[in-house]
A and B are shown apart, each in its own frame.
Chain A
Amino acid sequence: MEGEVTDLPFDEGGLCLIPSEEGIPRALLPLDLPANYLREARFLKNSGALLKGVWGATSEMPSVYAAFLLKEGLVVLSLSLSPDTLSFPSLSEIFPAAGRFERMVRDLFGFSPVGLSDLRPQTDHGLWVRPPLSNPNIPVAHLQPSSPPGDYPFVRVAGEGVHEIPVGPVHAGIIEPGHFRFSVVGEKVLRLETRMGYTHKGIASLFRGRTISEGARLASRISGDSAVAYSLAFSQAVEQATGITPSEGSRFVRAILLERERIANHLGDLGSLGNDAGLGAALSLFGRLRESLHRTSLTFFGHRLLFDSLVPGGASSGLSVSAVEHLLGECDFLTRELSQLERIYADHGGLQDRFQNTGILSPEVAHLYGVGGVAGRASGQAFDARVDHRGDPTHRFAPALSLDHTGDVAARVRIRFLEIFESLLFTRSLLLHLPEPPLTMALPDIPEPREGCALVEGFRGEVIGWVRLLPGGVIESAHIQDPSPLLWHALEAATPGNLVADFPLINKSFNPSYSGTDL
């Protein structure tokens, strides 16, 4: 935790973003007054910040957290709520994406977002007597009521020939559950609304009271496709709270793991996108590459999907000389194969016809909702935590930013190809410069409760980890924020105007996580 401290001219006495050896600079700012929370949020908006998440916590004090991404780094505001009112000001007028997060806080904790107009349930399906994460000592009368069971009030589109198509929660295929409501005229979608909450597993309640190592296991299993990004976000948050810096060797192995996860998922998405556009051979050709990657992961990192491959304080395994040689060979093999497949995709008229001008997310809308990751970069949002905040070891090899401006499915396909090539180059450099074997550091005990936060560039986009630890290595509360809630906004904005039959293709090109959204 050394280096230069970035000062932001906050009106409340200034805010220091503390750089860290590995991750991006970050700051936690505790606030007491709702008015200050709103003022800081406005100030952040004017400084060009994007809202990346809002979540709640009930420790001895009920509080609400909001995470913002600035060019300078990550800022997390926390607001302690008054036990009498249990309300917090809604940020939805400043950041349109806030509503979805705040509705979830309301459903789970019973805190009321003041000023939020859309109070429809987000995660609550009418089965709960009281908000499940509310403090049992607070009478139900003080809490927002749980929604009555019954039909969810989707926004109705009126007009001649308009009809609705309900889809889900059970979809036709190997997909996670969620509900989509299309308002359609003929073949054309007029409006899409998503209804989530089906995979809600009560992650926040499962974190509570667990040890740090149990928490790390859970973090790997919130959204299986992002196991590395989630455990890295969790680990970095724990490391910030306990004040340790992982060894150089661990940082290298972690960076390699994160790139492997990105490559595997991009390969899977590219194959599925080709398949959804009618090129069945693509699924097999990419599926084969993905399978070989998984097998190598099992051999050298102990798990096909890299679950539990890193822990707070370090990484689970080191790499032998023969392993490094094998992994370098894999990089060459994948680069060769992908160059051929990229040509095939680019030359295939049928594919390009389905990809181009389909599901356009304009740069303005992407910015409005703070969409990052692959979807954001395909719509001109020039941010990648690996590029803009070069912690160690990223800064030594500096992966290039992949950027496109058309915002259609074709752009998201191109970004994925570019990112795989960049990831392979980056992985190669990491392997060639691998320092001493990773050393897992013991986590020191902390004298009083401490918080930590972190941001990691997962394969979808920014994954934010936050944790509040108690002395004795016990987790009081923890939250991991997936970029998927923002991607649902992007999907809802990009689908209208397209044919219903193109929806699976558009959805796959964003590929939001249902489990990461519902928690």
Chain B
Amino acid sequence: MWKLLWKILKTGNLTEAQKTDPGCATPSEYRHSAAIRHLDAGSCNGCELELWALENPVTSLGSRGLSFVASPRHADILLVTGPVTCHMREALEITSEAIPSPKRTVAVGDCAKDGGIFRGSYAVMDGLPSIMEVDVFVPGCPPRPEEIAAGLLRAFAEKTPAT
């Protein structure tokens, strides 16, 4: 046990300073923390790897007041990855409806934007906008963790009416 404690102590705090992005919410705009419900709508799992990276000590999304939650009932933000496969459409709609308003919808990755490389296939809906209104797009294949974090903060700054 002492080895583990020593390792944690020696590793120290690795979280990098946040870069100020003019498009992002200022601390006064997100005084309260926000909870994210992630939904994989048929992603290749590349975006999921970068979502995992958001929670590593370097990016440390939690220290910015954002955390992933299990239940959509506890969520403020719906974060969708993947091109929206026909087989995930129903589950996506049910999850979205289960999130209480006001909520924000964030489409992460090129696939969620317009289907990306899978666009035109019989099995996909060509992106999230074909199903629901999207507040923030985070393009990239996959977008880098800091880009996703900035996109999530932008969700608060943009004065779009909540659905």
Contacts and interface: CB of A to CB of B under 8 A. Distances in A.
Nearest to B71: A172
Interface stretch (A221-229, A409-417, A427-435): A221-229
A176 B46 CA distance: 11
Contact of B87 (A176, A200, A285, A304): A200
Interface stretch (A62-70, A341-349, A371-379): A341-349
Nearest to A343: B3
Interface string B95-131: 1000000000000000000001110111110000000
A514 B45 contact: yes
B113 to A, nearest CB: 14
- Report the interface size class on chain A: 35 or more
A132 interface: yes
B52 A177 contact: no
Interface in A447-504: none
Interface stretch (A21-29, A93-101, A150-158, A287-295): A287-295
Interface residues of B, number: 50
B121 A177 contact: no
A173 B40 contact: no
Contact of B123 (A200, A224, A284): A200
A284 B56 contact: yes
B162 interface: no
Contacts of A127: 86-87
B32 interface: no
B70 interface: yes
A327 B3 CA distance: 28
Given A177-B91, A221-B141, A304 B45 contact: no
Contacts of A348: 1, 4
Interface in A203-256: 205-206, 217-218, 221-225, 227
A291 B70 contact: no
Given A174-B52, A294-B53, A205 B45 contact: no
A291 B53 contact: yes
B11 A199 contact: no
A201 B39 contact: no
Given A175-B48, A221-B44, A221-B117, A344 B88 contact: no
Contact of B42 (A199, A205, A283, A513): A199
Contacts of A287: 52-53, 55-58
Given A223-B44, A224-B47, A344-B7, A202 B124 contact: yes
A123 to B, nearest CB: 8
Interface of B: 1, 3-4, 7-8, 11, 14, 38-53, 55-59, 68, 70-71, 82-83, 85-88, 91, 95, 116-118, 120-124, 141-142, 144
Interface of A: 125, 127, 132, 169-170, 172-177, 197-202, 205-206, 217-218, 221-225, 227, 268, 281, 283-285, 287-288, 290-291, 294, 304-305, 307, 340-341, 343-344, 347-348, 513-515
The 10 closest A-B CB pairs, nearest first, are: A224-B46, A287-B56, A172-B70, A202-B123, A202-B121, A224-B44, A199-B42, A224-B45, A284-B57, A201-B118
Given A176-B45, A283-B55, A287-B55, 6 more contacts: A200-B123, A202-B123, A202-B124, A223-B45, A285-B11, A515-B44
